[in-house]
Structure 1
Amino acid sequence: MSLVLEKRSDLPPLWRWWGARVGMTALASLSDGRPPASFSLDVDQPLDVAPAFGSGRFGAPALRAHRDGRSFSHRFRHVRTEADGARILMLLTDPVARISLEQEVALDAKSDVLTLSTLVRNDGDTPLSIEWLAAATLPLPADCETLRAFTGRHTAEFAPVLVAMPSDSWVRENRRGLTGHAGPPGVFISGPGGTRHAGRTYAAQLAWSGNHRIEVACDDDGLWTLQMGEAFAPGEIVLSPGASYRTPAMLATFSADGLNGASQNFHAAIRRRAPWPREGMRPRPVHLNSWEGLYFAQDESSLKELATRAAVLGAERFVVDDGWFRGRDNDEAALGDWVADPRKYPRGLGPLAGHVTSLGMEFGLWVEPEMVSPDSDLFRAHPEWILQIDGQPLLTARHQLVLDLGRSDVRDHLFDRLDELLSGLPIAYLKWDHNRDLVAAGGADGRARYHDQVVGAYALFDRLLAAYPGLEIEACAGGGGRIDAGIAERCHRFWTSDCIDATSRVEMQRGFLAFMPPEMMGSHVGASPAHSTGRSQGMAFRSAVALPGHFGIELDPATLDEANEALLADGVARYKALRDRLHHGRVWLGEGPDGLVWQAHGEAGRGLLIVTRTAPGHLRRPPSIVLPHCAGAGPLRVRLLHLASEAGHPAPDAPLFARMREAGEVFDGDWLAQAGLPTPAMKAESVAVYEMEAA
């Protein structure tokens, strides 16, 4: 990847290039090749790093700010540029409006990902209202064709959205107060003929867990610009004299290897940002979470029995979900009162935690620190601690309100409660939930607190991880409502969705992998019928769909018959055998003929291939699937490790697949990339798992 800026003596640097790596033996100035345009200002207004409102350039401005309606038009001057090879810092100022901008651009060569952010400072002596500040304004070439993003809702995250490049602008704005169930604030833009595997792809995501805005805008020069930043509530960011605001970081990457190449770059960048210990990530442990097994009907005895059954299956971590604390028999009360319920746990949680660890498993606990129930001791003691607007009704969701984490006393109280739990129990893992959107997020002063809420949550996460560096945290927000690169610096796992229907999970998990690496993707084997959809799938299929991520179990094994318990134990063992190859290296996603989808993990010369069929095929015979990532890999031995399908009425077989199940079959990588890999007959809701190694 190359990024090229043209430095000017007293004006902001100009964008010349962002994209494939290029040489610059002799690059003429932009003005040399731009003849005057009709019906335009006499002074040219090319795209610079901080396009200004009211400057005569009518594309998307990087900043919208004013002083009580004045100083709304800006003319930035270049003060200085600092560069150290991997980082550029540009200082710009508007001496009339008395505003300074600091724009930082850093390139991580190991991931090929840019990290961009902008700081605005009020150099004047009156308040400065900020309505919009882009983390960066990136140029996109005129021949871009397709924009890919995601939408979603609770239990239906990561629904892909594919649209042609806009003639004017495309905007996604989120005002929910947290990331939202559409997934990370991000977008992929493809050049001519771009596919998953080839073609120019430009991609970016915002490292922020709150309100956000993304805009792809076209200007009358025929170019597009890409901007991302935090979306502000009215009057939310007002800078006093000398004060400043910095945007969340924008992670941006280019790949000539299509969507997969861009996603692989994101995975590398997120892995470098994740809060793994100095020695690195250990193998992701299999865990059983109690929620869909018991819901609120838990006590010491029932959870000890559940933990024993989990250990028999091979679980390595046992997580106690919602319902363990005082007065919590349903979701209508007790959030905020983080003390073990004496009716359910008369001896506290210690005996249960001791039982779990004696079985060789880690002990984990569910919490939702940012929330409070109106029916709770905490709310009765501190009704002023919630986000609210005086005179407006208190709007609950899941019977809960939101604590104001912009307040230091609230954060201190929550840290003390969590510290008491963590210091008194062998808790290795917190499932940290966030089960509602923010609505009237006002502070005690009546001003909007959406921004402060995210900053305060980050501060609480950071303080806990500093105090307990061995602690692992899962980010959950009604499932996938808080998955983004900002919280990824503070958590070790995401709960992808509250929907564990395996058929639904196939597309959701592929959407997750567009942005985040597989080892952070919580993927569980749920009950059948699935609690969220009512659909049923076989145990072999459910286990295979959960295989590529961070594998877990979300059911009570006591409900399984002997055959299904054996299938689940087999799935656990398979995950343990394969997780090192699943969770390191690159990931490729692809689509095959007749409804097949596939994904490959690792490297072409040593990796795993997972082929999934969710619906019945329409062809008479199973098709071959083309694997472009195998091109140039040389001879590869392919073994069919597992075909997850319902027992009984087996699909027709062939000698080739019998050999692939034994010693394997050798194919040339170029053959697989062009002619494809033959696939066995697969019924609906089945998964084939292959091993591919250099022959």
Structure 2
Amino acid sequence: MANIEYDPERQLFHLHNDTFSYVIQVIRGYLVKRYCGPALDHFSGTAKLEDFSHAFNIQNDAAPYSLTTLPLEYSTLMGGDYRTPAYAVRNGHGQLIGNLKFDHYQILAGNESFNGTLPTARTPHGQTLIITMHDETQTLAVRLKYTIVGDLPVLLKQVEYRNLTDTTLTITHAASLQLDFDDHAYDLITLTGAHLNEAKVTRQPLTPGKKSIGSNYGASGPQGVPATILAAPATNEFAGEALGVTLLWSGNFNYTAQVDQFDNSRLVMGLNPELFAWQLKPGKPFVTPEAAVAYTNDGLNDLSRIFHRFFADHVMPLPRKNLIEYNTWETTYFDVSEAKILAEIPKAEELGVELLVIDDGWFKNRPNDAGQLGDWVPDPVKFPHGLRPVADAIHARGLAFGLWVEPEMISENSELYATHPDWAMQYVGQKPLRSRNQLILDLSQRIVQDHLITVLTNLVRDNHIDYLKWDYNRHFSQPGSPVLPPDQQGEVGYRYTRGLYRVLKTLRDTFPKLLIENCSSGGGRLDGGMIAYTDQTWTSDFTDPVYRMKIMNGFSLFFPLKIFVSHFTASPNLQDARLTPLHTRALLSLVGITGIECPPSQLSPAETAAVKASFAFYKANRKELQNGLLFRLRPSHVNQDEVCWLITNAAKTKA
């Protein structure tokens, strides 16, 4: 049970549940982190704060302490703290607003949502503390939100900025959290990678200086995932202390781990400041993404299971049955048609498939990736009767019908671009920079969001679609918006991601039974934000089953099995030509959500038998395979080609 206690005599806040405690104290008006770890009955405060005052101290009212070393909750530059800042806000003189001090607090039930479209964890049994701070000139108010989850050692953090003046302020740094520690005896565990090589695990000790991971690509990865772990050096999969942090965010991000001159450490995570600047106007608050902090002293497997439960129970859409899928991509590529789909239905049904998905190539003028993104109308040659007869034929066999879309993109040869060239993200006067022969729609514009909502709503409703595969196949370039004034161009990335969430939320609210699969050339946007609005994720475009297990092993540090999509594929593999035994291909496709990529009608008798048996086993054990407890039996970072998993039911009576 979650509880937040305030001791007015010591100005001390104790946020705790049965397994976790987090303690904040107001000292000389500054918010100081006093404890983060296993649950305490009472915080005695016997652990003294070090007095690091020295000749080069900035003299301020924190004495006898130094802001250079105090474990602060949320700090800025040039006010005595020279470490990585959590916030930087400039006033009308172009100068940084100074240190924030405690003003007042509130304690609320559940999780107070600062904004309706930003992903927010559900915490019906949690409690929320909101601490409001002001700077000395009464120019800026910052509200720090802390929510202690009721049933897990998880603390949520989020920040809201308010302008107290009648002029505009400029935010250039806006972190969701700051965590300070009085030592640096930790290993930093990160997930980095590339297209076809997602979620590589790296573990390295913290050393003096800074280590930063981030994205300025417009999406969260795959170059870096907005999630990291600080672990004691001796921590392994089964024992030891570890603290994990992740963002519920899908856009540009950054986190920095720093060891300072006195061997203290700090972790700051939030929006990437490289391309960010927000005009904070009077009466219009700005809100950061929500961050989640999880703690364990029982090893990395336990930390992962905490995150798995957190995402499954508190973030993901309400549970629904994830279906065994046949996807047409490796059967037809762009050369898909009504005739080819209808021919595969009987064999797919025979195998035990529950969902048939038409991938890219179904809409008009799409013979290759230079085709007409933005005009979501069936190709009259490939589908002369439209999609509805195909959907009806699939439904008649008791299967669900799915469709691939890439709504955030636009091609210059599309009717949409001819009508609305100003809807494409662009820099004024510069030639557009293309990737995969496409531009990006400017989702920072509400009119563009409304257009996508209308088009996708009609597409789903008119064609009785049960599932959408939502793809995103290029990164930002020239992130400008023709409708924003010059001083707001630094807001495009943030507004874009918020716009994406609005579109997804509206679809979810309109079609509560619609399954949505998240894809960004694979796992390029697998994060806590997309998890809030989608049911599953295509973890990589690399379909080699052995390599794919390595990718899922990395993602499993944070994300639950029930979101991973893993399909039976051809051997030799179409991408790396690896020859994989039939039994291995069938076995590895069972992880998470199973399905098939290769054409059912072209399977050999042995492959047909193996896939049928695999799907039958999956149906009999779906609950455990999607929701079971995961134990990694080999360390993730040592030899990433070695993956050994044990999956059990919740009672650990079945494996």
Q: Does 2:399 correspond to 1:382?
A: no
Instruction: Output aligned runs, 1:468-507, within 5 Å.
Output: 468-507=511-550
* Residue 27 (1) aligns with residue 68 (2): no
CA positional deviation for 1:597 = 3.2
Give the structure, 1 or 2, with the largest relative contact order (CA under 8 Å, sep 6 or more).
2
The 8 Å contact of residues 20 and 153 in structure 2, kept in 1 or not, is answered as: no
In the TM superposition, what are the counterparts of 1:334-345 in structure 2 within 5 Å? Answer: 334-345=372-383
CA distance in 1, matches of 2:29, 2:589: 54
- Structure 1 length as normaliser, TM-score? 0.83
User: Which of 102, 123, 127 is the matching residue for 1:78?
Assistant: 102
Tell me the CA shift for residue 258 of structure 1: 1.2
Contact 1:184 1:206 in 2 (8 A): no
TM-score by length of 2: 0.88
Instruction: Write the distance in 1 (CA, Å) between the matches of 2:106 and 2:278.
Output: 28
Q: Which moved more, 1:246-255 or 1:162-171?
A: 162-171
1:515 to 1:35, Cα distance in 2 relative to 1, 3 A = closer
Counterpart residue identity of residue 34, structure 1: D
| Correspondence list, 1:317-466, <5 A | 317-444=355-482, 445=484, 447-448=489-490, 449-466=492-509
User: Aligned to 1:560, which of 603, 619, 633?
Assistant: 603
The whole-number CA distance in structure 2 between the counterparts of 1:35 and 1:87 is 33
The equivalent residue for 1:515 is 558
Indicate conservation of the 8 Å contact 1:201/1:259, yes or no: yes
Contact 1:155 1:532 in 2 (8 A): no
Instruction: Determine if the alignment matches structure 1 residue 250 to structure 2 residue 296.
Output: no
Alpha-carbon spacing, 1:274–1:206, altered in 2? closer, same or farther (3 Å): closer
Cα displacement (A) at 1:439? 1.1
Aligned residue in 1 for 2:195 = 154
SS of equivalent to 2:517: strand
In structure 2, the CA distance between the partners of 1:607 and 1:151, relative to structure 1 (3 Å rule), is: farther
Deviation, structure 1 residue 194: 0.6
- Letter of the structure 2 residue corresponding to residue 453 of structure 1: Y
Of residues 138, 145, 150 in structure 1, which corresponds to 2:179?
138
Are the structure 2 counterparts of residues 115 and 286 from structure 1 closer, same or farther at C-alpha, using a change threshold of 3 Å? Answer: same
Quote how far apart the aligned CAs of 1:125 are: 2.6
SS in 1 for 2:301: helix
Note the C-alpha offset of 1:7. 3.1
Q: Deviations over 1:596-619 (max 9, x none)?
A: 5321223485355xxxxxxxxxxx
| Paired position in structure 1 for 2:78 | 54
Task: Measure, in 2, the Cα distance between the counterparts of 1:3 and 1:120.
Answer: 26
Identity %: 29
Where do 1:636-655 residues align within 5 Å? none
Within 1, Cα distance between the matches of 2:274 and 2:498?
Answer: 15
Q: What is the CA-CA distance between 1:303 and the residue it aligns to?
A: 0.6
Question: Can you give the 5+ residue segments of structure 1 that lack an aligned partner in the other structure?
Answer: 609-690
Question: Structure 1 residue 265: deviation in Å?
Answer: 1.0
Question: What is the aligned counterpart of 1:108 among 138, 141, 149?
Answer: 149
CA contact (8 A) 2:132 2:141 kept: yes
Contact kept in structure 1, 2:184 and 2:206, CA below 8 Å: no
Quote the Cα distance in structure 1 between the aligned partners of 2:479 and 2:609. 49
Aligned amino acid, residue 479 of structure 2: A
The reply to whether residue 314 of structure 1 matches residue 352 of structure 2 is: yes
Post-superposition CA distance 1:631-667 (Å, at most 9, x none): xxxxxxxxxxxxxxxxxxxxxxxxxxxxxxxxxxxxx
Q: 2:330 aligns with which of 288, 292, 296?
A: 292
Question: Given that residues 193 and 199 in structure 2 are in contact (C-alpha distance below 8 angstroms), is that contact kept between their aligned partners in structure 1?
Answer: yes
User: 2:228, 2:642 → 1: CA distance?
Assistant: 25
1:125 maps to 166
Q: Secondary structure at the match of 2:549?
A: helix
Deviates more, 1:137-146 or 1:189-198: 137-146
What are the Cα deviations for residues 449-470 of structure 1, in whole angstroms up to 9, with x where unaligned?
Answer: 1111101000000011111111
Show the counterpart of 1:12: 30
Distance (whole Å) between structure 1 residues aligned to residue 653 and residue 578 of structure 2 = 32
Could you say which residue in structure 1 is the equivalent of 2:342?
304
Distance 1:343 1:276, change over 3 A: same
Larger Rg belongs to:
1
Deviation at 1:69, TM superposition (A): 5.5
Which residue in the other structure is 1:547 paired with?
590
Aligned to 2:117: none
User: Matched residues in 2 for 1:256 and 1:90: separation?
Assistant: 28
Structure-2 separation of matches of 1:380 and 1:499 = 35
| Ranges in structure 2 where 5+ consecutive residues have no aligned partner | 1-18, 109-125
Q: 1:241 aligns with which of 271, 282, 302?
A: 282
Contact 1:335 1:371 in 2 (8 A): yes
Q: Check conservation: 1:204, 1:250, Cα contact below 8 A.
A: yes
Q: Which amino acid aligns with 2:443?
A: L
For the 8 Å contact 1:10–1:79, the answer to whether it is kept is no
Taking a change above 3 Å as real, the CA distance of residues 221 and 16 of structure 1, as seen in their structure-2 partners, is farther
Letter in 2 for 1:257: D
* Structure 1 residue 35 displacement after superposition: 6.5
- Structure 1 range deviating more: 463-472 or 551-560: 551-560
Q: 1:169 Cα deviation (Å)?
A: 1.6
Partner of 1:166: 207
The amino acid of 1:342's aligned partner reads P
- Counterpart contact for 1:500–1:526, Cα < 8 Å: yes
